[in-house]
Amino acid sequence: MRRNNVRAAAEPLLFIMPCILVLGAFVYYPLVQNLAFSFFRFSAFSPEKVFVGFGNYANLFLDKTVGTALRNNARYAVISVLCQVCFGLVLAAILEDRSFRRVGQLFRTTFFLPVVISISVICLLFGFIYRPMDGLLNGFLELVGLGSLARPWLGSSKTAIFATIAVSQWQSTGYVMMLFIVAIQKIPEELYEAAEIDGASKLRRFFVITLPQVREMFFVTSVITVTGSVMVFNEPYILTQGGGPGTSSITIAVHMYQSGFFKDMMGYASTLAVLIFGISAALAVLQLRSFRTGEE
Amino acid sequence: MRPYSQRRPGRDSLGPAQLPVLALLLVGFAMVAYPLFWIMMSSLKTSDEISLSMWSLPRVPQWRNYANAWKFGISGYFVNSLVVTLTTIAGVIALASLCAYGLSRFRTRWTRSALVFVMGGMMLNPQVCLIPLYGLLTRLGIRNGYLAMIIPYIAFRLPLNTLLIRSFFLAIPKEIEESAIIDGCTSFQAYGRIFMPMSRPILFTSAILIAYYAWNEFLFAIIFIDSNKYRTIPAGLMSFRDALQVDWGPLIAGMAISALPLILFFIAAQKQFIRGMTAGSVKG
């Protein structure tokens, strides 16, 4: 009898443990270790660690690059919410409109295509598009008589960050659009019929029906997009060789990578990782809370 | 009842009122489609043509760009990506479905804490664990090898996929499992012979999500791998670029080779793909 009890208690563990162990060892343990690391100064190549207390955290405030990086991450977030979330919603509403249903499929598939392409392919592609002399963008501007606008998009510290942000918009707007399309398809058709009988125009139907009905999704996509903006790494790493010219297009994740793996300041890099964790965890809590309200 | 759209034929077609919006859509279409078309077109050009006549079609299609790209290293990266992606899919599906079964079929104090543990994992992103993981993989002696990508990929894909599969398992009626147990099935057999076959749709969705992630992952792939031998396509393309310098034809052909598998897969299984990507709601 007792043996049966033990077996009954152990059985669920057999199913759950492999997953929990992998999560514990390769996600939670590194997370805790990272927090510990942030109080030390150490190099990747020597086992010796020097305890510096909150020294690394104090350096966050002295390091001018942190400010530049955070400002760039904020630019990423604002532009991404405007372009991906707001514009993505408008796009979804248009493609789900009855007048456009027949052509909608083609546009939908095309707008979604960049999402499935690897970011390194996309960054290499935009490397060609942004080339100063023989790039597609400057070539196009000259073709339509706007040659005076042509400039070295990635080579100038004024435009590099915005050129980098544009790449993310090009890739991800279709993804957010698709999330909104799924949300719009769940809205009961009767709501639109009733509004149409009342004589509401398309624009009005968008504001009084579509917008309130996708409120939840609007929140979720905003949080996803802002979280993505906090973690941007690939685009500046590939397009501007790690945030150049100078540090003009650096993001906090690139700064972490360079502090750790180029300057070999592993402890300080861990501190930057804690900063990323703090911001993204706060956003994740917001997101989880929204899921809960969605269930109720 | 017929769908609303079929009852009022006159108001559904594209009229002049829709023309400005349609024009805007076409501009967007061109902005997305032309660069992709440009990749395909330029992959068949010589480097001089790419630089000097960027808008024109290839004079003579340079198929050898593809042969060269394949020979200069893309083939190796391609095989590596395949190995890493397939192993990651198998690992995540196995661990996540086992765990999902345990979480959905047993209700104890332990399983409730385990569920919170798994859900918490959704909040953690790979960058935060980068530096300790680097050290951990080095100490385990598996850095700079397939496992250096596969194990972290599996670990970071587990939370989302466990929750997805669990929600599907929860919807399977308890009676099916109970009658199987009465017939003498162990719970492991119930998992393998009843739950897994019944859950093919969600497992397929998960597999797509995992494939998308593993095929495109960049951060771990460049930091944990030093040797060209183990590079996957996204990281390999970077060394490919540095090696080829201005020999653009093969580079762009390499880009096309890297992008095509997922594009074809997407077009072939569009419905499942979109369901998977939207169920995940996880970008990047």
B86 interfaces chain A, CB cutoff of 8 Å: no
Q: Which residue has the tokens 């125009």?
A: A201
Beta bridge partners of residue A40, listed in sequence order: A51
| Average pLDDT value for residue range A75-83 | 94
pLDDT for the residue B6? 44
| DSSP H/E element including A42 | strand A40-42
Model's pTM, two decimal places? 0.88
Does residue A295 surpass a pLDDT of 50? no
Chain B CB contacts of A129 under 8 Å are 35
Enumerate domains of chain B plus CATH numbers. 17-62 (no CATH), 73-280 (1.10.3720.10)
Chains A and B: how many Cβ contacts under 8 Å? 267
Chain A CB contacts of B111 under 8 Å are 12, 16
Mutate to test the interface with A, among B85, B130, B282 (most CBs of A within 10 A): B130
User: What is the C-alpha to C-alpha distance for residues B256 and B171, in angstroms, rounded to an integer?
Assistant: 41
CB A27 within 8 A of CB B153: no
> What SS3 class is residue B33?
helix
CB A73 within 8 A of CB A251: yes
- Contacts with A188 (C-beta within 8 Å, 6 or more apart), sequence order: none
- Region of poorest pLDDT, from A28-32, A45-49, B66-70: A45-49
Largest CA distance in chain A: 88
Does residue A8 surpass a pLDDT of 90? no
User: What is the C-alpha to C-alpha distance for residues A95 and A61, in angstroms, rounded to an integer?
Assistant: 47
pLDDT for the residue A292? 56
Per-residue pLDDT band at B151 (split at 50, 70, 90): very high
Contact B124 A25 (CB under 8 A): no
Top pLDDT among A294 and B257 is at: B257
A15 interfaces chain B, CB cutoff of 8 Å: yes
Mutate to test the interface with B, among A26, A186, A189 (most CBs of B within 10 A): A26
Chain B CB contacts of A228 under 8 Å are 283-284
User: Residues 110 to 129 of A: which have CB under 8 A from any B CB?
Assistant: 110-121, 124-125, 128-129
The helix-helix angle for A266-295 and A215-230 (nearest 10°) equals 170
| Average pLDDT value for residue range B62-86 | 91
Top pLDDT among A291 and B239 is at: B239
| Average pLDDT value for residue range B170-180 | 85
User: Residues 148 to 177 of A: which have CB under 8 A from any B CB?
Assistant: 170, 172, 174-175
Q: What percent of chain A has pLDDT over 90?
A: 56
Does residue A167 surpass a pLDDT of 50? yes
Q: What is A51-118+149-295's CATH topology?
A: MetI-like fold (1.10.3720)
pLDDT for the residue B92? 97
| Average pLDDT value for residue range B186-191 | 88
| DSSP H/E element including A40 | strand A40-42
| DSSP H/E element including B111 | helix B109-121
| CB neighbour class for B209 (10 Å; exposed up to 12, middle 13-18, buried from 19) | buried
Q: Is A10 left (phi over 0), alpha (psi -120 to 50) or beta?
A: alpha
Top pLDDT among A121 and A287 is at: A121
- What are the helix (H) ranges across chain A? 2-23, 29-37, 55-62, 64-80, 88-96, 101-112, 119-129, 136-143, 160-185, 189-197, 202-205, 211-213, 215-230, 234-239, 252-261, 266-295
| Average pLDDT value for residue range B215-237 | 92
Side-chain half-sphere CA neighbours of B261 within 13 A: 15
Quote the mean pLDDT of chain A.
Answer: 89
Does residue A46 surpass a pLDDT of 70? yes
| Average pLDDT value for residue range B182-210 | 89
Q: Which residue of B has its CA nearest to A8?
A: B106
Q: What is the pLDDT of residues A194-252, one digit of tens each?
A: 888 888 888 888 998 999 989 888 888 898 899 889 999 999 999 998 887 989 999 99
| Average pLDDT value for residue range B121-138 | 90
pLDDT for the residue A248? 92
Contact A280 B128 (CB under 8 A): yes
Does residue B15 surpass a pLDDT of 60? yes
pLDDT for the residue A293? 52
Quote the mean pLDDT of chain B.
Answer: 87
Top pLDDT among B244 and A251 is at: A251
CB B77 within 8 A of CB B237: yes
Name the residue facing A37 among B131, B156, B238 (closest C-beta): B131
pLDDT for the residue A223? 86
- If one counts every other C-beta atom within 10 angstroms of the C-beta of residue B207, the result is 20
| Average pLDDT value for residue range B209-229 | 91
| Average pLDDT value for residue range B234-260 | 88
pLDDT for the residue A294? 46
User: Residues 102 to 161 of B: which have CB under 8 A from any A CB?
Assistant: 102-103, 105-106, 108, 110-111, 114, 117-119, 121-125, 127-136, 151-152, 154-156, 158-159
Q: Which residue has the tokens 């970011």?
A: A119
User: Residues 9 to 48 of B: which have CB under 8 A from any A CB?
Assistant: 11-15, 18, 21-22, 25, 28-29, 31-33, 35-36, 38-39, 42
Q: How many residues does chain A have?
A: 296
Q: What is the pLDDT of residues A243-294, one digit of tens each?
A: 879 899 999 999 999 999 999 999 999 999 999 999 988 887 877 776 555 4
In eight-state DSSP terms, residue A209 is I
**CA distances (Å), B241 to each of A232, A241, A261, B238, B254, in order?**
22, 13, 21, 5, 10
Most confident of the following: A25-34, B188-197, B204-213: A25-34
